[in-house]
Amino acid sequence: MSSKCALITGITGQDGSYLSEWLLGQGYEVHGIVRRVALEDPEHRLSRLKAIRGRLKLHAASLESYASIHRVIHEVQPDECYHLAAQSFVSYSFDDEFSTLNTNINGTHFLLSAVKTLAPQCRFYFAGSSEMFGMAETVPQNESTPFHPRSSYGISKVAGFDLTRNYREAYGLYACNGILFNHESPRRGFEFVTRKITSGVAAILAGKSTQLSLGNLEAQRDWGHAREYVEGMWLMLQQPQPDDYVIATGECHSVREFVELAFAHVGLDYTRYLTTDPELHRPAEVNLLKGDASKARKVLGWTHRVKFADLVREMVDEDCRALGII
């Protein structure tokens, strides 16, 4: 068992909660950066951490304030830092490019700079994204595929990726980029398409709703289970040398397939409930993402285990359970 100390930004989110559980299981002391409002409204904002809240050390700080980040790094002196926090909803990034770019890029820069100054031995993980590939030239995408982001979110992640690599090359920081493809779970936020679908199916089954309205049904994504993806993050920081890795299943499915399977799981025909809304289409869409995680498999020994259909079923079941209908 380890007595290492880890600091997580974005600890209240889907990935932050799974990563915290994983690290606690490995014997880590786990610290998290949260916004002050989260501490003031724990019932709502710390809901994913409910079961482990007493074992975590949470620090109020903002990724928009270098002073607050500096204070936390100084106090915690982490051995490992997992930078997961971001404005991560792609659609929103079209509505507010400025705050997406400011928060995501500056937040990463502030954190890297504070780590370099105050805890240079700390191993750093940056949550890169398959959205960096955007309109990719080749399928599947791996660590050598050129980036062509299609949203300010994707652009902010490319900047974070470059900053992280530059701190590794220029200052010798042990800094890694994870290029994670879509990863989902019952803890996914309701604004993302998978959870919108599974919570929508549960609401229809419970008689609380009569339809589900979506945007582009033909977009294809490589969807894995978030619980497994956080293990990939941790593995990246346990290697002799820092590097960048794609984490993905290598399988892709359309939004329509996800919908069909989710409805079919509870015995419903999706064509009776699904409507499409042009307002939900993005100004620049990413049509097809499919990852090649062979480097992670080979070097990290990481593999995905949960199959697409099982992921869909688990998410539908959990949403049905939350409404008391199974």
Residues that bind ligand F7E (CB under 6 A): 88, 90-91, 129-131, 181-182, 191-194, 196, 214-216, 219, 221, 255, 280, 282, 285-286
Locate the DSSP E strands across the chain.
5-9, 29-34, 56-60, 80-83, 123-129, 175-180, 183-184, 212-214, 220-221, 224-225, 244-247, 253-254, 274-276
Cα–Cα distances in angstroms (integers) from residue 108 to residues 33, 83, 135, 286, in the given order: 13, 7, 24, 24
Residue 255 · residue 216 · CB < 8 Å? yes
Q: Are 233 and 221 in contact (CB under 8 A)?
A: no
Catalytic residue among 93, 129, 151, 199: 129
For 207: left if phi > 0, alpha if psi spans -120 to 50, otherwise beta; the answer is left
**Which one is catalytic: 153, 174, 229, 270?**
153
Question: What residues contact 77, with CB distance under 8 A and at least 6 apart?
Answer: 5, 118, 119, 122
Nearer to ligand F7E, 285 or 317 (CB): 285
Kindly state the smallest distance separating residue 29's Cβ from ligand F7E, in Å: 28
Tell me the closest approach of the beta carbon of residue 238 to ligand F7E, in angstroms.
23
Q: Which residue's CB is nearer to ligand F7E, number 43 or number 279?
A: 279
First to last CA, the chain: 39
Phi then psi dihedrals of residue 276, to 5 deg? -120, 150
Closest CB to ligand F7E among 123 and 196? 196
| Minimal distance, residue 88 CB to ligand F7E, in Å | 4
Task: State the minimum distance, in angstroms, from the CB of residue 87 to ligand F7E.
Answer: 9
Report residue 57 as tokens: 């050390």
Helices (H), 26-89: 36-40, 42-45, 66-76
Q: Which of 70, 148 has the CB closer to ligand F7E?
A: 148
| Beta carbon nearer to ligand F7E, 75 or 285 | 285
Catalytic residue among 131, 184, 228, 260: 131
* Cβ 113 to ligand F7E shortest distance, Å: 23
Q: Is 129 a known active-site residue?
A: yes
- Quick one: tokens of 286? 């990413």
Catalytic site residue 131? yes
Catalytic residues: 129, 131, 153
